[in-house]
Structure 1
Amino acid sequence: MATDVEIALQFSPLPITEISERLGINSDHLHPFGRDIAKIDLKALTQNKQKPGKLILVSATTPTPSGEGKTTTTIGLAQAFSQLNESVCMALREPSLGPCLGMKGGATGGGYSQIMPADRINLHFTGDFHAITSANNLVSAAIDNHIYQGNDLGIDPRQIVWRRVMDMNDRSLRNIVLGLGGKMQGIPREGGFDITAASEVMAMLCLAEDAEDLKRRLDRTLIGYTYASEPVYAAQLKITGAMMALLRDALQPNLVQSFEGTPAFVHGGPFANIAHGCNSVIATRMAMQYADWTITEAGFGFDLGAEKFFDIKCRTANLDPDAVVLVTTVRALKMHGGKLKNNLETEDLVAVQQGLGNLDKHIESVAIFNKQPVVALNRFATDTDAEIAIIRERCAAHDVAFAETTHHADGGKGAIELAKAVIRSVTQNAPFKPLYDLDLTVLEKVRAVCKSMYGADDVAFTKDAEKDLKLVQQLGLTHLPVCIAKAPSSLSDDPELHGRPRDFEVTVRSIQINAGAGFLVILTGKIMRMPGLPKEPAANGIQLLKNGVIEGLE
């Protein structure tokens, strides 16, 4: 079977000017990065007055190592809409170098449902991640310099909450000690690194409505406390203007295309297990402004990315998806039913049946938001008709639409059935209802998510989390939504519990205040905001060939 790179070499991208013309974007608003990538000026968002199109959210059952193909399905579905002569555009997240070089590999789709140029998108792209990293670390440098230069604000080095970031998986940098070079090297203090995708700057850029909104968010970002335990905000360091300068181009969404010439805005890249997991509001609005249908996705399973899509992104930006797609595979349900990854290719009707509980829970979760999903079965060559029939029958029992797809092998035509089912489903969806009211206590909000989305019996706050909760209350930030950081491989906070776990409690170990982003990060279980590399990282298989082609970035 051909690799994704070999398949990609069969396609030549259309000039990006042609893609933008199809969307109706004024050429004055196009800033090309070569022939097949462009930044789109934010003026394009305000100068197009047409009514916004419909929004489709793609999510999935709980991820497994066998893969569900959520991004591939999103791209295949968009290509199917194009084949049906519908006006369509995608709004996707940018890949992070951490997963690309670590465990997951590239994030531009697969088979005949990819966006291109995949190598550039997966690596440095237009430099957005680097700009976000630099803006974040400018704050860190300014904090340490302020203390070194006399500390007029009285910042307590022991109470600095702002962390450095880098776009790489590096577990050794999770917790470090700074300033050990003597008097001229700064005040010694504890610190650490998160991955760029988990940074508050990333979240602020993705949730900002425009440049002015981003500046307001940067100004109100909490960076630490004084010796008197008074909060210190980024505006007090007088560096948010420089941060805006660094982020000027990064705020503009990136336009690319799929193999079949379907346009895609790819912008922002927060992870859904440790951040809010959605592409930028600006890119989503841009796509909706220039196409009748916008197809977007939220990271990991519905319990993580989609819950945050509704409770944070939709609530913040006044968005409401017209349809929801829930992606699953026979292989994933077998793993949820107890089978091992190396034993998924033989038919096992019992394992599929036992794994259906995970699908059941996610279908029920979609309904909590007042939506009715279309279940997309991403078919693999080893799947049997009998296995698929079990899933189809379960969807019928839930009275939700089901569509089998082969977009990985067949491109857009392999998702035609799914596209038609999605179009039919639009009339069945009412306005979304948030999972919780913002005037609830933080504990009540966390409990609502854990019980409704994960199926937990209750939540337990550690002593550290209770101390953090008191700070939230003192700062008057209890009205903020919650962004729960949790293991993505389980509905629980224990990554080893697959299927549909029952009779468990979620442990909240700390709360991080993201006042600029406008939410509270709730850290549960043992989740880390700086991933580590696996024993055999994907980077080991990546090579730059003599012809300039990058091999192994899949």
Structure 2
Amino acid sequence: MAFTSDIEIARAAKKRPIGEIGAKLGIGADDLVPYGHDKAKIGQPFIDSLADRPNGKLILVTAVNPTPAGEGKTTTTVGLGDGLSAIGKKAAICIREASLGPCFGMKGGAAGGGYAQVVPMEDMNLHFTGDFHAITSAHNLLSAMIDNHIYWGNELGIDTRRVTWRRVMDMNDRALRQITTSLGGVANGFPREAGFDITVASEVMACLCLASSLADLQDRLGAIIVAYTRDRTPVYARDIKADGAMTVLLKDAMQPNLVQTLENNPAFVHGGPFANIAHGCNSVIATTTALKLADYVVTEAGFGADLGAEKFMNIKCRKAGLAPDCVVLVATVRAMKMNGGVKKADLGAENVDAVQAGCANLGRHLENLRGFGVPVVVAINHFAGDTEAEIAAVQDFIAGQGAEAILCKHWANGSDGTRDLAAKVVATIEAGGADFAPLYPDEMGLADKIDTICRRIYRADGAQMDSKIRAQLKQWEDQGHGHLPVCMAKTQYSFSTDPEARGAPTGFTIPVREVRLSAGAGFVVAICGEIMTMPGLPRVPSAEAIGLNDAGDIEGLF
């Protein structure tokens, strides 16, 4: 049988007009702002009108640590949403928008895959409704206004050595990580060191994804610390008078996007912070809107449960007052093999021993998630080469942990491949037992919060922080920021900071090389190991294979 690519499947989809998709959730035509025939934004007045409605049930989809073998977390999120609809439940999914960096780099898109996709796939993976461009523009407007303030006399007394606000772009470009600006003479300003991050790492992205309204967004933007004076007094975006104009640029981007799955079920796609360098969840406003409109809402958090799920619980749920009713933990036989020591080239051969060895990674994630007081169902995302013995090895391991692993074939069969998972999730929720609690209290010190995550989630011997970093954390506590949660920036490939240390490593520490205060977003970022907030392209980037065919259709996206 000939292989059909994701983009070919998406292009053949029988999409319904976006008004029909909105009607499934009770959204009227006048409450949608269409972007063509197959995507729309949801108007703020309609969102405001939902405030008194009860919430549906919230399901988080997360995964084991990613490997080159693939896990399919977003695919499973889409498949579960379709599966819930197929068994007669009113369901919606909430996922993030795709960054151009990974699309043209090595990871690919963020619309799912096979017959469990969100469409329009090409639009979603490229410019979509322009949200990322608006975030980039708002961020860089603030950058320009900081330098302009300094140029015209520096009334606030900004120490140009202590400007903390970097620029952003939504592309992987390692050459921009560290730069010098304002060269070329007096007319160009005062030279200083600066740099770029990728847009998904922008604090503006985090502010938009955590804000509950435009007013809340402007408050958060105004609270961004952009620099310090010589006596270490913080300078805020509101001091630069940038918060109003930034909010204007983000006015439309703040509204959630509505699209559809291949099976014409509603999907909210909004916001896009990475989980390895940011908080890794779609927007609060999209999730809370979906919860008012559907009985079951399926959302995902980026990368493995040690990053995305931890931040979903400790940052997003804490800030938005949310509590998940069930967690779905995605694993694949192939990923278990790689965690068990098998090389990618050898994954095709049956190796039950490697699967059993690799299940240590799955088991640690399962135990961690249970520590948040939420019931967990394991989903085995099926690949064609998986053998019955290998699948049984994963199921037996999970049964030994007092849980159940459901085999899912949504990539090949759509909702027909996730009916069992959907039924198990519904039964788990109806049985109750969820008693959600974050990992640490607000009043715990910042250094202790970092150390707690390192010990309880990564199973490290602790966090390694020098005296300068500890003094910085203490200073932020003295300035009133000690109640903030922590956002760990760390490699997604391992519990440790060594991307090659797969499985369930022990006997390591987590080196924290830098901390950043995101006062507007409302968290402190701890940058660990060698992780970069501006990724680079691989030796052979995906961009080399992307182009237009003779019919003008896009090829090479995945």
Which residue of the partner structure matches residue 201 of structure 2? 198
Q: What corresponds to 2:483 in structure 1?
A: 479
Contact 1:45–1:285 (Cα < 8 Å) also in 2 = no
Between 1-10 and 352-361, report the one with greater CA deviation. 1-10
Q: Distance in 2 between matches of 1:402 and 1:180?
A: 59
1:406-445 matches, cutoff 5 A: 406-426=409-429, 427-445=431-449
Residue 458 (structure 1) shift: 1.1
Q: Distance in 1 between matches of 2:530 and 2:365?
A: 23
- Alignment-derived partner of residue 549 in structure 2: 545
Distance 1:334 1:428, change over 3 A: farther
Secondary structure of 1:365's partner? helix
Question: What residue number does 1:232 align with?
Answer: 235
Q: Which residue of 1 aligns with 2:408?
A: 405
Q: Deviations over 1:136-155 (max 9, x none)?
A: 00110001000000000000
2:527 corresponds to 1:523: yes
Question: What pairs with 1:427-466 in structure 2 (closer than 5 Å)?
Answer: 427-466=431-470
User: After the TM superposition, which residues 138-149 of structure 1 pair with which residues of structure 2 at under 5 Å, given as runs?
Assistant: 138-149=141-152
- 3-state SS of the aligned residue for 2:358? helix
Q: Deviation at 1:5? A: 1.5
For the residue of structure 2 that corresponds to 1:376, the secondary structure is strand
State how far apart, in whole Å, the 2-side matches of 1:40 and 1:546 are: 36
For residues 508-530 of structure 1, what are the alpha-carbon distances to aligned partners after superposition, in whole Å with 9 as ceiling and x for unaligned? Answer: 11110000000000111111100
> Residue in 1 aligned with 2:507?
503
**Counterpart in the other structure of 1:345:** 348
**Segment drifting more, 273-282 vs 536-545:** 536-545
- Alpha-carbon contact 2:326-2:434 (below 8 Å) kept: no
The 1-side partners of 2:35 and 2:552 are apart by: 18
Residues 273, 485 of structure 1: 8 Å contact kept: yes
CA displacement at 1:463 relative to structure 2: 4.4
Q: 1:29 aligns with which of 8, 19, 31?
A: 31
Partners in 2 of 1:264 and 1:325 — Cα distance? Answer: 18
TM-score by length of 2: 0.98
Map of 2:90 onto structure 1 = 87
Q: 1:294 pairs with 294, 297, 319, which one?
A: 297
Superposition deviation, residue 229 in structure 1: 1.6
Shift of 1:468: 2.7
Match of 1:307 in 2: 310
Instruction: Report if the CA contact (8 A) 2:104-2:541 is conserved.
Output: yes
Q: Residue 127 in 1 paired to residue 145 in 2?
A: no
1:324 and 2:327 matched: yes
Amino acid at match of 1:138: L
**Alignment-derived partner of residue 16 in structure 1:** 18
Given candidates 34, 40, 43, the residue that maps to 1:41 is 43
SS in 1 for 2:418: helix
The amino acid of 1:259's aligned partner reads: L
The worse-fitting range, judged by mean Cα deviation, of 421-430 and 229-238 is 421-430
Matched, 1:61 2:71: no
Distance 1:224 1:271 in 2: 24
* Structure 2 residue aligned with 1:160: 163
Whether 2:7 is the aligned partner of 1:5: answer yes
Residue of 381, 387, 392 corresponding to 1:389: 392
CA distance in 2, matches of 1:384, 1:511: 45
Residues 275-290 of structure 1: matches in 2 within 5 Å? Answer: 275-290=278-293
Runs of 4+ that moved beyond 3 A: none
Asked if 2 retains the 8 angstrom alpha-carbon contact of 1:462 and 1:510, the reply is no
Q: Specify the alignment match of 2:473 in structure 1.
A: 469
Corresponding residue SS for 1:334? helix
What letter matches 2:12 in structure 1?
Answer: Q
Alpha-carbon deviation of 1:9? 2.6
Measure how far apart 1:181 and its partner are: 1.1
TM-score by length of 1: 0.99
CA contact (8 A) 1:462 1:507 kept: no
SS at match of 2:239: helix
Deviation track 1:226-272 (CA, whole Å, cap 9, x = no partner) reads: 12221100000111110011000000000000000010010000000
Q: CA deviation at 1:443?
A: 1.3
Superposed displacement of residue 168, structure 1: 0.2
Residue 110 of structure 1 corresponds to which residue in structure 2?
Answer: 113
Q: Output the CA distance in 2 between the equivalents of 1:151 and 1:50.
A: 49
Give aligned pairs, total.
554
1:464 positional shift? 4.3
Note the C-alpha offset of 1:27: 2.0
Name the CA distance, whole Å, in 2 between partners of 1:332 and 1:404.
Answer: 15
Question: Hey, what's the Cα distance between the residues in 2 that align with 1:491 and 1:59?
Answer: 15
**Unaligned 5+ runs, structure 1:** none
Q: Which of 478, 494, 498 is the matching residue for 1:494?
A: 498
